[in-house]
Amino acid sequence: MKAIIEVSRPGDYRARALEIAKRADAGAPATESDYHLGFEDAGQLFSEFTAERCRMLDVLAATGAQSIYALAKRLRRNYSNVHRDVQAMIEREIIAKDDDSRVYVPWDSVDIRVTLGSSRAA
């Protein structure tokens, strides 16, 4: 499964939920679906997913579960700043903690999708 972070129009998630409900009503077996996290606009998305947070996610996905301290050392960043960024990503369910309190990216991939200049339905 992957995490999809995107700028989405109002109603996108409602339409997705209705499609899942239709499949369930038709008796189709439930399938694992991707995790979607939507933002109203690109500015809001990039205020949460800063360059440093994206770099942190990239490094963490590549290197696997580790302590926040080890991650901060690997990133050559201040521990408290990395801790704050990890907490923000845990709240967004992009990072998780294992039983040993090590952090990791629980997704096969994290996709960030931004389309600029498209017309938006109200």
Domains and CATH numbers, the chain: 2-113 (1.10.10.10)
Q: Which two tokens stand for residue 120?
A: 């938006």
What's residue 115's pLDDT? 83
The pTM of this model reads 0.78
Which parts of the chain sit beneath pLDDT 50?
Answer: 121-122
Q: What does the pLDDT read at residue 8?
A: 83
Determine whether 7 is exposed, middle or buried from the number of CB atoms within 10 Å of its CB (0-12, 13-18, 19+): buried
H or E element: which one contains 69?
helix 68-75
